[in-house]
Structure 1
Amino acid sequence: MAGDSLARRLWQLCNLLMATFFGLAAAVQVNDPDAGLWVVIYLVPAALTLLVGLNPSVTENAVWRSLCDLHSAGCIFGTIALACSLVEYTQGNILHEEEGRELFGLVIITIWMSLCRSSAKNPLGGIHLTAAVLVVLFPFVSWLYIYVNKEMRESWPTHCKTVI
C-alpha cells in the first residue's frame, strides 16, 4: 500500500512538472512569428496535465479524454508534417532547426498525453512510471543543455535568442 501511495505521489509530481514545462514552453513563444499557434499547442496539455496532477482520476472524465484525444491527434498530424519537412530540408543537427525543436515538443506532448490517458485504466507503476520520469526529465535536461551550449544558440533565428 505504501508503494502505491508513493507511485501515486510521484505520478502527480511528474504531472505538475510537465504542466510547468508546457506552461514555460508556451511562455517562450512570445517572440515567435507563429506564437499564437504554439501557445495553444502548449497551453492545452499544460491545462490537461495540471488537472491530472491535482486529481489523477480526471482522466476518466469524458470531456478530459475527448480534449486529450483531439489534441493528441493534432500533435500527431503536426509531427508527421514537421518530420516530412525536416527530412526534405534539414542539412545538419535537427536541434539547430526551429522545426526540429518544434517536432520534439509535439513528440513530448503526444507521449505525455498518451501516458496520462492510459493512467485512467491502470495506475502508473513500474515501466510506465519509469517512462514518465524519463519523459519529465528530458525537456528540462534538454533546455539546460541548450542553455549552456552557446554554439547551438548562435545558429538560431533572432526571435529565439531573445527568449532565453
Structure 2
Amino acid sequence: MTINRVAVLSVVLALAACGQSGTNPPTDPAAPINTPEAEAPPPTPPPGVGSIMPGSGPQTFVGRWAASAAWCANLQGAERPIEITTTRFEGYENSCGILSISQVAEGYQASLACASEGQTSNERIKMAVHGEGMRLTWLNRNNAVITLVRCPAPAGAPAAAP
C-alpha cells in the first residue's frame, strides 16, 4: 500500500503543478500595468496631423509673428499675427498641423497639412530666425519669402518657459 500512496501523491502533486502559474499562456493577454503613466491617455494629435508628432526641439520659431510690428496688436482680420507652436501653424483663414520638423543649417524645415476655406493642402516651409525676425520661405511656392517680426505675448498670456 505504500507504493500506491506514493503513486497517488505523485499524481496529485503533478496535477497541482498544472494549476495557476505566474506566467500567462501565449494566448492570454498580460494583466494591465497600473501606474499613473500607463493609465494616462495617449496624446491626441491635432486634426489633420496623423500619428506623427514633431519633436519639441529648439523653440526659436515658437510664438506670434507678423509682417509688420503694427499688426501685433490685431486679434482678427488679415493683418494679424500668425501663431506657431511645435504642433500648429495658425494664420489668417488657414490652419495647419505640423507633420514634421527638421533642423537644417539655416533654421528649421517643416511639412504642414493645412486647411483653408474648405480646401486642404500640404505645404513645406523653412523658418530661419535671426534675433527678433524670421525669414519664412514657402518651399513649394517657388521659394516665396516673407520676412516676419516677433510679436510680444498678448496681455494676460502665460509667460514662456525659460
Which interval holds the TM-score relative to the shorter structure? Answer: under 0.3
Q: Judging by fraction of residues, say which structure has more helix.
A: 1
Structure whose CA Rg is larger = 2
Q: TM-score, normalised by structure 2?
A: 0.23
Q: TM-score, normalised by structure 1?
A: 0.23
Q: Judging by fraction of residues, say which structure has more strand.
A: 2
